[in-house]
């Protein structure tokens, strides 16, 4: 028996609780893992609270991210004792997930834990940080250089936003952080933001073309914020869009695309191919300053993760949350 969060949905409603479950209840897979750390992403918040249709079968253990040790494997790439991490692939959505002391998954989904990171540190990056890296890689591949001007990061105090700031600063870019929590300005500057703007400046409907300001954008908010980011991106610039914390719509015109030649990159972490994941984790290991990661992280137990999920969705959690599944 081991501890796991379990999401259930039946006639009495949708609920998540801490339970002791049996190994026989683990899903199919060719690798079993002793999980040491997991984390809370926005999507985990939706799964735990039921505020979004993330969980597709019940009962199910939520949790899209884990770091741990292989305890059983019939997969050619993995053997007992290997340190691994997992992000996405539908785990915690349609395949029982990582907010548990044990998990069973497909070996094809696993990435080796980079030497630079402890299991806890890898989870203080998690899907949010790995997605931030994918966004930054898209801007870099577009050819945006630090000398091209300011990069806008929206949802700056969130997981994706905060890690995007650390990465971009390390790469020499000038980062402007957009946030609804101006009181966290000093923290955002300590991560590497050169300037802070109130997210209200971007969340009201704007003109089809605004004053050109950004050479590039990392957006985790969507909706009017993303539309305004498009209309104020400089000629030839690019936006990496990965999130919907402010809404899933996109009220934009074609003007920024056809008159300024801007590019909108869609970023998906869940089904990203293995090579891109390995590249992203290699870059994270090269670029991330561990002390900044730590100041951006809070720690909770498996049981506490249930209450913290609601706060995360309300935008009241700063940075990243790691979950000690053994506490």
How far is Cα 32 from Cα 98, in angstroms, rounded to an integer?
12
Q: Considering the complex, what minimum distance in angstroms separates the CB of residue 259 from ligand NDP?
A: 27
- Is 124 one of the binding residues for ligand NDP (CB under 6 A)? no
Judged by CB under 6 A, which of 86, 105, 267, 306 binds ligand NDP? 267
Q: Considering the complex, what minimum distance in angstroms separates the CB of residue 95 from ligand NDP?
A: 17
- Is 297 one of the binding residues for ligand NDP (CB under 6 A)? no
Q: Which is nearer to ligand NDP, 70 or 135 (CB)?
A: 135
| The one segment of 105-113, 151-159, 226-234, 255-263 that binds ligand NDP by CB under 6 A | 151-159
| The one segment of 15-23, 110-118, 174-182, 303-311 that binds ligand NDP by CB under 6 A | 174-182
| The one segment of 38-46, 205-213, 285-293, 294-302 that binds ligand NDP by CB under 6 A | 38-46
- Is 59 one of the binding residues for ligand NDP (CB under 6 A)? no
| The one segment of 68-76, 110-118, 127-135, 279-287 that binds ligand NDP by CB under 6 A | 127-135
Residues binding ligand NDP: number (CB under 6 A): 32
- Is 221 one of the binding residues for ligand NDP (CB under 6 A)? yes
Q: Which is nearer to ligand NDP, 67 or 245 (CB)?
A: 245
Judged by CB under 6 A, which of 220, 232, 233, 309 binds ligand NDP? 220
Contacts with ligand NDP, residue ranges (CB under 6 A): 41-43, 127-128, 131, 155-161, 179-181, 199, 203, 220-221, 225, 242-246, 267-270, 312, 315
């Amino acid at each position: 028996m081991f501890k796991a969060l379990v999401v259930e949905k039946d006639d009495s409603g949708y609920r998540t609780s801490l339970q002791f479950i049996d190994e026989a209840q683990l899903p199919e897979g060719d690798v079993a893992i002793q999980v040491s750390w997991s984390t809370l992403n926005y999507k985990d918040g939706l799964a735990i609270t039921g505020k979004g249709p993330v969980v597709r079968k019940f009962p199910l253990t939520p949790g899209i991210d884990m770091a741990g040790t292989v305890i059983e494997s019939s997969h050619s790439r993995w053997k007992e004792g290997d340190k691994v991490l997992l992000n996405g692939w539908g785990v915690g959505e349609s395949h029982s997930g990582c907010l548990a002391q044990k998990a069973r998954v497909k070996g094809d989904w696993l990435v080796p834990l980079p030497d630079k990171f402890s299991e806890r540190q890898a989870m203080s990056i998690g899907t949010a940080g790995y997605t931030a890296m994918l966004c930054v890689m898209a801007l870099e591949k577009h050819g945006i250089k630090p000398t091209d001007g300011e990069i806008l990061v929206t949802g700056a105090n969130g997981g994706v936003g905060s890690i995007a700031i650390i990465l971009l600063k390390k790469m020499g870019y000038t980062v402007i952080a957009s946030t609804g929590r101006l009181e966290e300005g000093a923290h955002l500057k300590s991560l590497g933001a050169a300037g802070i703007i109130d997210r209200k400046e971007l969340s009201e409907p704007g003109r089809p073309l605004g004053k050109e300001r950004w050479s590039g954008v990392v957006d985790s908010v969507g909706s009017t914020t993303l539309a305004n980011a498009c209309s104020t991106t400089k000629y030839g610039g690019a936006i990496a869009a990965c999130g919907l914390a402010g809404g899933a719509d996109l009220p934009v015109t074609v003007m920024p695309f056809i008159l300024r030649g801007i590019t909108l990159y869609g970023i998906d972490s869940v089904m990203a191919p293995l090579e891109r994941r390995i590249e992203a984790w290699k870059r994270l290991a090269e670029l991330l300053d561990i002390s900044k990661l730590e100041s951006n992280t809070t720690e909770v137990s498996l049981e506490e993760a249930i209450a913290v999920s609601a706060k995360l969705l309300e935008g009241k959690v700063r940075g990243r949350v790691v979950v000690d599944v053994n506490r």
